[in-house]
Amino acid sequence: MKMRLLPLVCAPVIALVGCSTADSAALGDAQIEHVSEIRDALAKTDSKCSNWQELSQEGVCVQDGNGQVKFKIDGTPEDLARHLLDEQFPYADEVIVGKNWVGRCGTQGEGTCEAIAEDLGARVQRTTRT
């Protein structure tokens, strides 16, 4: 009799776990398929984009008064982040790093890149240039 009840107890729990989607706080650890997932996650936070531009696997979040963040899906985000921060190719001072994506910060407000990363559940990598 106990064995017959086990599926009734476990099935709802498995169904809840299986149906969950990555929320904005967990997007840093999520494998994304399209940059629009970042746009949708930001729309649920204080880091909303006033304008979103998208081309293929790249998206740009423009925030009025705070500049922009250029997001890109990449299979080796750690390598891309190092390249973007490299002394020879100084494209950014801060880069948001997710599981398979990066965000190159061109923000103007101090702490903006960190706030966006926090909203996405990702981390910021900073340049070591002085």
pTM (2 decimals)?
0.77
Q: Which residue stretches of 20-105 are H helix?
A: 36-43, 77-85
In terms of Cβ atoms closer than 10 Å to its own Cβ (0-12, 13-18, 19+), residue 96 is buried
Tens digit of each residue's pLDDT, the chain (130 residues) = 455 544 444 444 333 333 334 455 578 888 999 999 999 999 999 888 999 999 888 999 999 888 999 999 999 999 999 999 987 777 788 999 999 999 999 877 888 999 999 999 999 999 876 5
Query: Which pLDDT does position 24 carry in this prediction?
Result: 53
Integer angstrom CA distances of residue 125 from 36, 41, 55, 77, 100: 22, 20, 24, 11, 15
In this prediction, residue 72 carries a pLDDT of 96
Pairing assessment for the beta strands 67-73 and 101-107 based on DSSP bridges: antiparallel
